[in-house]
Amino acid sequence: MEAILLRQGAYCVNRCFRGFLKTSCVRFAATTATATFSKTRSEGLRIGVPKEMFPNEKRVSLTPNAVKTLTGKGFSLIVQAGAGVSAQYPDSDYVKAGAKLIESGAKDLYAQSDVVLKVRSPLIDKEVNLLNTNSTLISMVYPAQNKELVDKLAERKITLLALDCIPRISRAQAFDVLSSMANIAGYKAVIEAASHYSNFFAGQITAAGRIPPAKVLVVGGGVAGLSAVATARGLGATVRAFDTREAVREQVESLGAEFLTIQFKEAGEGGGGYAKEMSKEFLDAEMALFAKQAKEVDIIITSALIPGKPAPKLITKVSTSYTFVHAHRRVSGSPI
């Protein structure tokens, strides 16, 4: 199961990378918003695919199929040995696709790369200084939350194309790695919860009696939350969901789940359809709802997220400790 998810995740990410390199796109540059590649033609442009250094990161930025496509366009691909092994892509597949394998480590790969493709943002203490001055980095960076990283990249005159800054509009859907990864995260959250749940997820009717299905609460109705709702419903659970945006109700109910509300009127939708930060009064009412729901449900999955902000902590120690003591089989998910 994990291998399938990793390959799917790699496919979603590398599809975006291919699109970036083949067409013009919205760019976030560490130095200037109009920064461009130092080389305007694909011929001779060296693209590096390093092995991710972030702890427990098993994804890879390009699959062998994507490498084959890019080499066919005239790009030179160099891949660090072992970059795709954790995602079930052996080094031999990259070599067959036309990439040059770098076995001497990340330092040599970065030194030879005009463009570096990564899944995670570079680690400040390990990877930033490996990037060539005036080179290009294509990666998820979250600049609003990583100002120090952006400043370090600017000091090295790195052109940064932040995948997470692409607007969610129809013509940019091919580059939307946030939605594709969130979809996988929501699915995986339910699978992980089901593996910890000590009863039948879908319930059972036997000669000895009836076992009710699991009750699942999903907090947040974005891409990850809706994916979790759909997956839990598909496995036979009874699902409830909450979101600050009333517009999400129709989507939740169309998946067969119950949409929870609170007796407090406040618009929860910000710019671009995303959720926004709510008032203290709304949050207090929200927390009271979660404390009540925690006594009733078997599994809680949180997926609430506000762009450019840390994930909100919506399930308190008071709620979770009471939940665990009350029923002895609860799974509380961290923000996705």
Query: Which one of 42-46, 108-112, 200-204 scores highest in mean pLDDT?
Result: 108-112
- Domain identity same for 251 and 312: yes
Residue 241 lies in a domain: yes
- Domain identity same for 146 and 58: yes
Residue 221 lies in a domain: yes
Q: Which of 176, 180, 243, 293 is catalytic?
A: 176
Rounded CA-CA distance 110/126 in Å is 12
Q: Which CATH number is 96's domain given?
A: 3.40.50.720
Q: Which of 88, 179, 204, 332 is catalytic?
A: 179
pLDDT at 316 over 90: no
Residue 278 lies in a domain: yes
State yes or no: is 7 an active-site residue.
no
- pLDDT of amino acid 70: 95
Q: Which of 11, 142, 197, 274 is catalytic?
A: 274
Residue 171 lies in a domain: no
Question: Which of 121, 177, 138 is CA-nearest to residue 9?
Answer: 177
Residue 114 lies in a domain: yes
State yes or no: is 204 an active-site residue.
no
pTM of the model: 0.75
Q: Which of 104, 173, 195, 334 is catalytic?
A: 173
Chosen domain end from 113, 139, 166: 166
Mean pLDDT (the chain) is 82
- pLDDT of amino acid 67: 97
Rounded CA-CA distance 316/308 in Å is 22
- Convert the pLDDT of each residue in 285-300 to its tens digit: 888 888 889 889 999 9
- Domain identity same for 276 and 236: yes
- Domain identity same for 162 and 202: no
- Domain identity same for 159 and 189: no
- Domain identity same for 115 and 201: no
- Domain identity same for 291 and 210: yes
Rounded CA-CA distance 101/48 in Å is 10
State yes or no: is 93 an active-site residue.
no
Q: Which of 7, 120, 156, 168 is catalytic?
A: 168
Q: Which amino acid is at 301?
A: I
Residue 149 lies in a domain: yes
Rounded CA-CA distance 235/28 in Å is 40
Label the pairing between strands 76-80 and 100-102: parallel
Q: Are the CB atoms for 119 and 60 separated by under 8 Å?
A: yes
State yes or no: is 274 an active-site residue.
yes
pLDDT at 282 over 90: no
- Domain identity same for 22 and 120: yes
Q: What is the count of structural domains for the chain? A: 2
- pLDDT of amino acid 31: 38
Per cent of the chain over pLDDT 70 is 77
Chosen domain end from 129, 144, 166: 166
Residue 273 lies in a domain: yes
- Domain identity same for 109 and 241: no
Q: Which amino acid is at 328?
A: H
- pLDDT of amino acid 244: 85
306 — pLDDT class (breaks 50, 70, 90): confident
Give exposure, 118-137, as e/b (b: 16+ Cβ within 10 Å): bbbbbeeeebbebbbeebbb
- Domain identity same for 32 and 72: yes
- Domain identity same for 155 and 204: no
State yes or no: is 176 an active-site residue.
yes
- Domain identity same for 100 and 229: no
Q: Structural domain of residue 105, as residue ranges?
A: 2-166
